[in-house]
Amino acid sequence: GGYTQSPGGFGSPAGTQAEKKQRTRSQNIVPCTVSQLLAAEQVDESFRIRDVEISQVTIVGIVRHAEKAPTNILYKVDDMTAAPMDVRQWVDTDEAGGENVVVPPGTYVKVAGHLRSFQNKKSLVAFKIMPLENMNEFTTHILEIVNAHVVLRRNLMEASRGPQAFPSTGVGGYGGVCSLPLNGLTAHQSQVLNLIKNCPVPEGMSLQELKAQLHSMSMSTIKQAVEFLSSEGHIYSTVDDDHYKSTDAE
Amino acid sequence: MGDIHEGPRKRIATAHLAQHIGQPVCFVGRLEKIHPNGKLFVLSDGEGKHTTVELSEPLDEEISGVIEVVGRVTNQATIMCMSYVQFREDKSPFDLELYNEAIKIIHEFHEYFPFG
């Protein structure tokens, strides 16, 4: 193919240990929305979406435009979260026909590729473009985006707390001056989260059950804790707004 | 009025129409009926609730099954359609109820699924 991952273009001598480590860390493929990719900040050679490092991504959207050039096919892929994104697929000029057939506009596709920015314009260089045969994959992708970004952000928050914090609930010292409670949950929030985490029932734990178990807490305190935990992505509501499950549960 | 395809179009279900009057949206639903004049059709979402979709020009083709509509919500809480696409169901049926659940999740976790 026409694209490789060698850092030949950088012009600097072989990367330092830190650089190599950074490149290894962003080897996950992260499902994203086009809006997230457009909002990603470029830090040296890598990109960050809300501090989470990304490089290889997948998007699912509909082809709005397809233009074939001698060495590449330029698509515009639209997932409704922003304007359509430029997706470039390099064509293997040695291979006769076959491999790179142009996907017609109006087709829903899943694109796997690398995020690029040139003259402040973002685009994807695709290593795979697959028309969706089963549209339920499109729904799954939506769910995977939320899941991936919630988990990635949570891992980042827990890592940033440092060694003095307890790993799972985050009750511990505050590592630095920060207006957001990044470094941990309050005692109330942790207690509520732990109960929800340990609840085995499929529909999760209800507010009433939480109140029954947490004698010292008022219903309004419990509701505040639940609201905070939900907005931070630690829990989600299930059958109704009174039942919650942990995003951590198996 | 610019091309709404150049900006975000929030994915919504019938229950969200009222909160999005005047806004560009994307609605997915199953075709229930088409008006004889071809300028109006009704879709049902994953909860079975109906949304009316209006067109500026009559339909010039047969449509059926699951349709994804891009358009703007009118004051009457219908959708003025700018474009539409039919979801393929030749290999597998589309689970509209699951899609509805996904919509609820992306609304609740909107910071992890931003529109715009």
Name residue B30's beta-bridge partners.
Answer: B44, B66
| A46 close contact with B: CB closer than 8 A | no
Task: Between A202 and B48, name the one with better pLDDT.
Answer: B48
The DSSP annotation for chain A comes to: -------GGG-SSS--HHHHHHHHHTTSEEE--HHHHHHPEEETTEEEETTEEESEEEEEEEEEEEEE-SSEEEEEEE-SSSSPEEEEEE--TTS-STT-PPPPTT-EEEEEEEEEEETTEEEEEEEEEEE-SSTHHHHHHHHHHHHHHHHHHHHHHHHHH-TTS-TTT--S---S--SS-TT---HHHHHHHHHHHT--STT-EEHHHHHHH-TTS-HHHHHHHHHHHHHTTSEEE-SSTTEEEETT--
| A127 close contact with B: CB closer than 8 A | no
| A153 close contact with B: CB closer than 8 A | yes
pLDDT value for A15: 45
Q: Which domain holds residue B26?
A: 10-111
Test B95 with A108 for CB contact under 8 angstroms: no
Q: Is the confidence at residue A189, as pLDDT, over 90?
A: no
- Which region, left, alpha or beta, applies to residue A120 given φ > 0 means left and ψ of -120 to 50 means alpha? left
Test B8 with A146 for CB contact under 8 angstroms: no
| A84 close contact with B: CB closer than 8 A | yes
Domain span(s) for CATH 2.40.50.140 in chain A: 29-158
Q: What is the pLDDT of residues A91-147, one digit of tens each?
A: 876 665 555 689 999 999 999 999 999 998 999 999 999 999 999 999 999 999 999
pLDDT value for A173: 34
| A135 close contact with B: CB closer than 8 A | yes
ipTM, two decimals: 0.96
Test B85 with A106 for CB contact under 8 angstroms: yes
pLDDT value for A22: 44
45-84 in chain B: CB under 8 A from chain A: 66, 70
Residue of B nearest to A132 (CA): B88
Whether A39 and A49 have beta carbons less than 8 Å apart is answered as yes
pLDDT value for A233: 87
Average pLDDT on A9-24 reads 45
**Lowest-pLDDT range of A7-16, A67-76, A117-126:** A7-16
For chains A and B, count residue pairs whose Cβ atoms are closer than 8 Å: 81
Task: Give A-chain residues touching B5 at CB under 8 angstroms.
Answer: 64, 78, 83-84
Average pLDDT on B32-51 reads 97
Q: Which two tokens stand for residue B93?
A: 């049926």
> Does some domain include residue B50?
yes
Q: How confident is the model at residue A167 (pLDDT cuts 50, 70, 90)?
A: very low
CATH 2.40.50.140 fits A29-158, yes or no: yes
Test B102 with A106 for CB contact under 8 angstroms: no
Query: At the topology level of CATH, where does A187-246 sit?
Result: Arc Repressor Mutant, subunit A (1.10.10)
> Does some domain include residue B5?
no
Q: Which residue among B87, B98, B109 sits closest to A233, beta carbon to beta carbon?
A: B109
pLDDT value for A55: 87
Q: Is the confidence at residue B2, as pLDDT, over 80?
A: no
Average pLDDT on A37-61 reads 90
Q: Which residue among A35, A64, A136 sits closest to B8, beta carbon to beta carbon?
A: A35
pLDDT value for A162: 56
Domain span(s) for CATH 1.10.10.10 in chain A: 187-246
Residue of B nearest to A152 (CA): B112
Q: What's the pTM?
A: 0.70
> Does some domain include residue B2?
no
* CATH at residue B79: 2.40.50.140
Number of domains in chain B: 1
Ranked by mean pLDDT, which of A2-11, A14-23, A226-235, B88-97 comes out on top? B88-97
